[in-house]
Amino acid sequence: MLATADALGRLLDAARQVDGRERVDTLDAGNRVLAVDVTSPLDVPPMHTSSMDGYAVRAADLAGASEGASVALPVSQRIPAGHAAAPLAAGTAARIFTGATVPPGADTVVMQEMAQVSDDGRVAFAQPPAAGEWITRQGADIRRDSVILPAGTRLTPQALGLAASVGCAQLDVVRAVRVAIFFTGDELRMPGEPLEPGAIYNSNRFTLRALLAKLGCEVTDLGIVPDRLDATRETLRRAAGEHDLILTCGGVSVGEEDHVKPAVEAEGRISMWQIAMKPGKPLAFGAVRRGDQEDEAFFIGLPGNPVSSFCTFLLFVRPFLLRLAGVKHVTPRVYSMRADFSQKKGDRRNEFLRARVNESGGLDLFENQSSAVLTSTVWGDGLIDNPPNHAISAGEIVRFIPFSELI
């Protein structure tokens, strides 16, 4: 069995960004991956702006202000946000609001709490301001011609906002990765169907479809395939034609009814099988030929147990798909956290334990770590990456990968 790090390394070494790009509206570009750098055509902000409601002044005009001798200036203009500002006449103040353009000639904004308006409309200042105070300078956030989002960036909501802030109505993105998915198992039923003795509902279909959607994939769901070698081979051939990745769930173990591995070997190749991890040992990676063509569609076969399928997707399929989509950095952040539990015996494989952050900032362990207990993935906040043969003592610092880094 391969170590998890070695297995992931093999997958990422094999992954190549898919060909093709498309231009999409920025409003619709969430979770897509940039194909080219986004360069700002302007400074942000595009002019000097006030960061407070108050008064724009020349600092020199208030040099003589003090608690005992305030300086009063007439208000020469009023500048709301979104309106043009006239040059500020010497010896006057401009009423200004947050986000408004600082008038030419002004070098300071005094917040309104530090000013006193008199009955004659003049405004008095009891202390001299520092030059430049409460002014956001032109280009303080973004300079014109600077790269604000490099190619390979996955477009989060905040990245979309940043692109919009420089006027990008559309973005060039890598085309969506095309994934064909199917499920094997004569015992599988869909919710809404009657559940005969020995049958189970196909939870993996819902989990994996939702995970693929979060990654912005274009998904073809080929449904549940009968536990037969011929049916599995035919579905693989059909899936290979127009897809970058074929993802299966179930049928990759060594039982007599596990037909996915021999089917892939007949239609292509298996280059990796069985990972030294718990849950999720029977994970297969390879490729399926595209008819008579020389090229191939990648293949990843996930185990059928729901927690095994979930964990192997997050740890292996997710980074592989991101790399196909052109994302440069696919490694999740890992946090060092305190274990508030003991596990007296480690496993010979690399364990990924479902755990939750408690109110004191430590980690609690879900009591049943079986690969069939999907409840643990909803109860938990993430996975403890526990090395092989390692027992965990209460108070020990462990490696924790939050689900927020993986989903």
Per-residue pLDDT at 111:
96
- Quick one: 158 and 303 in the same domain? no
Per-residue pLDDT at 254:
57
- Tell me if residue 322 falls in helix, strand or coil: helix
- Is position 345 within any domain? yes
CB 98 within 8 A of CB 136: no
- Quick one: 184 and 300 in the same domain? yes
- Quick one: 132 and 168 in the same domain? no
CB 278 within 8 A of CB 349: yes
Could you tell me the pTM of the whole model?
0.88
CB 154 within 8 A of CB 327: yes
Per-residue pLDDT in tens (0 to 9) along the chain, 407 residues:
899 999 999 999 999 999 999 999 999 999 999 999 999 999 999 999 999 999 999 999 999 888 778 999 999 999 999 999 999 999 999 999 999 999 999 999 999 999 999 888 899 999 999 999 999 999 999 999 999 999 999 999 999 999 999 999 999 999 999 999 999 988 999 999 999 999 999 999 999 999 999 999 999 999 999 989 999 999 999 999 999 999 999 877 655 557 898 999 999 999 988 899 999 888 999 999 997 777 999 999 999 999 999 999 999 999 999 999 999 899 999 999 999 999 989 999 999 999 999 999 999 999 999 999 999 999 999 999 999 999 999 999 999 999 999 99
**How many alpha carbons lie under 13 Å from residue 210 in its C-beta half-sphere?**
8
- Is position 144 within any domain? no
- Quick one: 230 and 272 in the same domain? yes
Domain holding 154, by residue range, is 21-44+150-174
- Is position 141 within any domain? no
Nearest to 184 by CA among 210, 202, 196: 202
Q: How far apart are CA 333 and CA 385, in angstroms?
A: 12
- Quick one: 37 and 79 in the same domain? no
- Is position 390 within any domain? yes
Per-residue pLDDT at 256:
53
- Tell me if residue 115 falls in helix, strand or coil: strand
Residue 1 to residues 4, 5, 165, 298, 384, Cα–Cα distance (Å): 9, 12, 50, 21, 21
**Residue 127: what residue type?**
Q
**Residue 70: what residue type?**
S
- Tell me if residue 289 falls in helix, strand or coil: strand
- Is position 40 within any domain? yes
- Is position 145 within any domain? no
CB atoms under 10 Å from CB of 314, counted, come to 22
- Is position 143 within any domain? no
CB atoms under 10 Å from CB of 192, counted, come to 6
User: Which residues lie below 8 Å from residue 210, measured CB to CB, with a gap of 6+?
Assistant: none
Domain with residue 393: its CATH number is: 2.40.340.10
- Tell me if residue 280 falls in helix, strand or coil: coil
Domain with residue 68: its CATH number is: 2.170.190.11
Q: How far apart are CA 27 and CA 227, in angstroms?
A: 43
Residue 205's Cα: distance from chain center in Å? Answer: 22
Q: How many domains does the chain have?
A: 4
- Quick one: 311 and 366 in the same domain? no
- Quick one: 190 and 273 in the same domain? yes
CB 155 within 8 A of CB 173: yes
Residue in the structure block whose two tokens are 């293949």: 299
- Is position 305 within any domain? yes
- Quick one: 358 and 400 in the same domain? yes
- Quick one: 77 and 130 in the same domain? yes
Please give the helix or strand (H or E) that residue 8 lies within, else none: helix 4-14
